[in-house]
Amino acid sequence: MKKETIKVTGMSCGHCVKSVEKVLAELPLESSKVEINSIDVEFDEQKVSREKIVEAIEEAGYELVK
């Protein structure tokens, strides 16, 4: 199991948080906690890659902090 905090930009309200929670709910994550500036995820790399998680976040309209 891998745990990671992903820093994001562009989220400014509860609606933003809900939209990311919705896309992450479609992935086989062990757990996730979405906040305005960061997302904590726990996942099995055998089931889902970090790249797939990042792709879902970006498809929801948010960018990772570089």
Q: Which amino acid is at 26?
A: E
CATH number at residue 26: 3.30.70.100
Question: What order do you get walking across the sheet with 29-34 strand by strand?
Answer: 29-34, 38-43, 2-9, 63-64
Residue ranges making up the domain that contains 28: 2-64
| Overall number of domains in the chain | 1
Q: What digits encode the pLDDT tens for the residues 24-61?
A: 999 999 999 999 999 999 999 999 999 999 999 999 99
pLDDT at 66 over 90: no
Please give the pLDDT value at position 61: 94
pLDDT band at 4 (very low <50, low <70, confident <90, very high): very high
The pTM of the full predicted model, rounded to 2 decimals, is 0.90
CA distance linking residue 15 with residue 5, whole number of Å: 20
